[in-house]
Amino acid sequence: NAGVTQTPKFQVLKTGQSMTLQCAQDMNHEYMSWYRQDPGMGLRLIHYSVGAGITDQGEVPNGYNVSRSTTEDFPLRLLSAAPSQTSVYFCASGSPGRHGYTFGSGTRLTVV
Amino acid sequence: QKEVEQDPGPLSVPEGAIVSLNCTYSNSAFQYFMWYRQYSRKGPELLMYTYSSGNKEDGRFTAQVDKSSKYISLFIRDSQPSDSATYLCAMSVAYNTDKLIFGTGTRLQVFP
């Protein structure tokens, strides 16, 4: 049982480049989310999905796109990378309440 | 002002000490309160979950919620070096919502 798998683990981008952060879960969870974690800022919600075909914006959605075509996958797309998007990105699935979220191990992104 | 405030620490204690970690919040609508533990370069993992006010105990860990004061706490008894991690509080308004708001995290170090 792999849980939540994020790829890549590390990435360096040049300003203006685009890329997709991959997230896959094998627990049949309906809820999936993307967070970014920055020093002194905690975890901030970027986008989330409550099921296949349904997505919504979180606290810091600008510069990011998502889609949810299957229950298992929830990719995060950076349209035109900026240095302000340098961060650690976590994908999570599950329930925000009693059973909590299962987090992936993160993608460390540096934009130069 | 952030919705959830948490002292970033670091907090350094000797092995065997009782640790108290705290968060305050401003949104009186929060009803679900969680504590996550995050080891260095790993994703957060759910440690404790509490609904509304009251206490919940799980082994060496006790979570307390005081909704009248908008204050939550996590106590760790007989702290161990393996407890060294960052502890994040998190809360949400409804059970079936993806809007999980995190504190910035408190870094704890337990030395032998």
B-interface mutation test, from A21, A37, A54, A102, most B Cβ less than 10 A away: A37
Q: How far is residue B42's CA from residue A103's CA, in Å, rounded to a whole number? A: 9
As a whole number, mean pLDDT of residues B98-109 equals 89
The chain A residue lying nearest B39, using CA atoms, is A105
pLDDT per residue as tens digits for the range B4-63 = 999 888 999 999 999 999 999 999 999 989 999 999 999 999 999 888 888 999 999 999
pLDDT confidence tier of residue A1, bands split at 50, 70 and 90: low
The pLDDT value given to residue A83: 97
As a whole number, mean pLDDT of residues A31-41 equals 92
The pLDDT value given to residue A79: 92
As a whole number, mean pLDDT of residues A15-42 equals 93
Q: Which amino acid is at B19?
A: V
Q: Does B112 touch chain A (CB under 8 A)?
A: no
Range name among A71-85, B7-21, B84-98 with the lowest pLDDT average:
B84-98
The pLDDT value given to residue B78: 97
Interface list for B 54-83 with A (CB within 8 A): none
Q: Are A81 and A14 in contact (CB under 8 A)?
A: yes
Judge residue B81's burial from the number of C-beta atoms within 10 Å of its C-beta, 0-12 exposed, 13-18 middle, 19 or more buried: exposed
Q: How far is A47 from chain B (nearest CA, A)?
A: 10
Check pLDDT > 80 for residue B94.
no
Average pLDDT of chain A, as a whole number: 93
Q: Does A2 touch chain B (CB under 8 A)?
A: no
Q: How far is A109 from chain B (nearest CA, A)?
A: 13
Q: How far is B103 from chain A (nearest CA, A)?
A: 6
Question: What is the three-class DSSP state of A84?
Answer: helix
Which residues on chain B are in Cβ contact (under 8 Å) with A104?
A: 43
Check pLDDT > 90 for residue A70.
yes
pLDDT confidence tier of residue B93, bands split at 50, 70 and 90: confident
Check pLDDT > 80 for residue B96.
no
**CB-CB: which of A33, A40, A100 is closest to B98?**
A33
Q: Are A32 and A13 in contact (CB under 8 A)?
A: no
| CB pair distance less than 8 Å for B100 and A104 | no
Which residues on chain A are in Cβ contact (under 8 Å) with B90?
A: 43
Strand pairing category for A10-13 and A107-111: parallel
Q: How far is residue A37's CA from residue B9's CA, in Å, rounded to a whole number? A: 17
Higher-confidence position of B13 and B95: B13
Which residues on chain B are in Cβ contact (under 8 Å) with A45?
A: 98-101
Judge residue A30's burial from the number of C-beta atoms within 10 Å of its C-beta, 0-12 exposed, 13-18 middle, 19 or more buried: middle
Check pLDDT > 90 for residue A33.
yes
Check pLDDT > 70 for residue B104.
yes
